[in-house]
Amino acid sequence: MSEKPVDALTESEAEAELKRLAEEIAEHDRRYHTEDAPVITDAEYDALARRNLAIEERFPALVREDSPSLRVGAAAAEGFTKVRHAVPMLSLAKAYTDDDVTDFIERGRRFFDRDKELDIAFTAEPKIDGLSASLRYENGVFVQGATRGNGAVGEDITANLKTIADIPAKLKGSGWPETIEIRGEVYMTYAEFEALKQRSAAAGGQDYV
């Protein structure tokens, strides 16, 4: 059954749809962050989030207190030591269309409007969708890794990150700040993911999506 277009929803339909989306997205968040057992793809999840946001933009008075658009991440999972981020670890805004990119550029130009002579350069690169993580180095030595969690508090995954060969235990060179935090995405290639799925299936383990 196809969904009714957002611009065709009545106010009562929009209210009901926002309730459904809030509950459905919260359930997918729980499966993903707490159980590590997602049942939909990232693209399908993003589609739910986009529909929720589109309805809220059309009916701003209906925005719920538990709206997915008001959440940055998820609560820290049980079983992991909690880590409070020195600086909030926020998420990036997403752009899905050419218009989204154009709007971003215009916002940038308005922000720098005070300097008419300033040349603004942009760099575009593929969006890697993985596990957001922060790496804390002290005097060039990796001492702690953490997930984003809810943006303020994440989980300590130092031991997990130390198993990744691409993450250096010690930074090359010298003159590093006493403390430096590097943030990015932890991910695996499609080939590595397929190999993991096959190993898990052969062992009678989890079926990854």
The pLDDT score that the predictor gives to residue 51 is: 93
For residues 65 and 90, state if they share a domain.
no
From the candidates 4, 82, 116, 127, give the one annotated as an active-site residue: 127
Domain assignment present for residue 32? The answer is yes
43-99 pLDDT, tens digit each = 898 899 999 999 999 998 999 988 888 765 555 555 678 999 989 998 777 788 889
Q: Of 144, 133, 146, 132, nearest to 169 (Cα)?
A: 144
From CA 15, how far away is CA 17, in angstroms rounded? Answer: 5
pTM: 0.59
- pLDDT at position 124 is 79
Residues 57 and 88 in one domain: no
Kindly report, residue by residue over 107-159, the tens digit of the pLDDT. Answer: 887 877 766 677 778 887 777 878 899 999 999 999 999 999 888 999 999 99
Residue 99 within any structural domain of the chain: no
- Other CB atoms within a 10 A radius of the CB of residue 149 amount to 23
Question: Domain span at residue 10?
Answer: 6-71
Q: Are 200 and 207 in contact (CB under 8 A)?
A: yes
Q: Is residue 39 part of a domain?
A: yes
Residue 23 sits in the same domain as residue 88: no
Same domain, 90 and 170: yes
The CATH number assigned to the domain holding 184 equals 3.30.470.30
If one counts the domains in the chain, the total is 2
* Known catalytic residue at 162: no
Which segment, 19-23, 122-126, 160-164, is predicted with the most confidence on average? 19-23
